[in-house]
Amino acid sequence: MKKLVLPLVVVALLAASWASATYVIVLKNGRRVVGREKYVVKGNSAVIQLKNGALTSLPLSQIDLPKTELVNSEKLGDAVSLDWVDMQEVQPTPTPTPSVAGLGKIRSQVGRNSGETTKPTPTPGIMFRDSKYSDVQVEKLFQEGLESYHLYLYRTSAGTRPEFMFVEVSVNGQPEVLKALQAIGLTYHLLAQNSPERCPAQVEVQMINESGKEAGLFRLTALEAADLATGKITAEDFFIKKVIF
């Protein structure tokens, strides 16, 4: 297996936002909650102040205590140290999230006859699975990519095929839908450039809104991810053309 030179943390170009996190709670389902300081135990709950200042509580039984202690002992904020990918020669940077009126505006354009690419065909079974993707470090890389965009509620698993990876992201409104597409596109593109033999054949993405309803379903190829990462297509246009219903 190809061994790549290691920077200390996955890329300076993704790391700017990590420094502000002070305490990370890792849940048993793989998701993370990032707060300003360590949680306070009250009965059977953990009370934590989120980065935006709001207070929330979680059942202690849902917290993966060993992983939580490990992540915070590394003093990397909400980043995860990887030892296998070299991003030093990669130059692309995330493009700003476009300002749009709302998801309603985007969805109203879906299905219009643009004369370009054919709409994706719905695929049953694009959902979170109990089985992990075959390469745990690849999963961690995508987790870091999401967290670099301040997206902390996510989980990853195997996809509908062994060579596919699945990513579920909880989003709060259309700006986070677009940020998630950008984050996943950039991460996938960097991985394809630097370690193509470990790259998923496709990445299946499901967005879940604050009400628990689906906010978008996608399947990305490495070429589509490159278009997103290099700005050949905006996240808004990608949503319009590629969302699967």
Does residue 34 sit in the same domain as residue 112? Answer: no
Does residue 143 sit in the same domain as residue 36? Answer: no
Does residue 60 sit in the same domain as residue 175? Answer: no
Residue 69, domain CATH: 2.30.30.100
Does residue 145 sit in the same domain as residue 59? Answer: no
Domain count within the chain: 2
Contact 142, 164 (CB under 8 A): no
Does residue 112 sit in the same domain as residue 40? Answer: no
Does residue 140 sit in the same domain as residue 213? Answer: yes
In this structure, what token pair is assigned to residue 111?
């299905």
Per-residue burial over 63-92, b if 16 or more Cβ lie within 10 Å, else e, is bbeebbeebbeeebbbbbebebbebeebee
Is 87 within a domain? no
Per-residue pLDDT of the chain (245 residues; tens, 9 = 90+): 444 433 333 444 444 444 444 788 888 887 788 888 888 888 888 888 876 677 778 889 999 999 888 878 765 554 444 444 433 333 334 444 433 333 344 344 444 444 444 555 555 578 899 899 999 999 989 988 898 888 888 999 999 999 999 999 999 888 899 999 999 999 999 999 989 999 999 999 999 988 888 889 999 999 999 999 999 999 999 999 999 86
In this structure, what token pair is assigned to residue 13?
């170009």
Q: Coil, strand or helix: which one is 32?
A: strand
Q: What is the pTM of this model?
A: 0.58
Is 139 within a domain? yes
Q: Which pLDDT value is given to residue 123?
A: 55
Cα 228 from Cα 234, distance rounded (Å): 6
Does residue 141 sit in the same domain as residue 221? Answer: yes
Is 96 within a domain? no
- Can you give the residue range of the structural domain that contains 219? 103-242
Q: Which pLDDT value is given to residue 224?
A: 96
Does residue 186 sit in the same domain as residue 108? Answer: yes
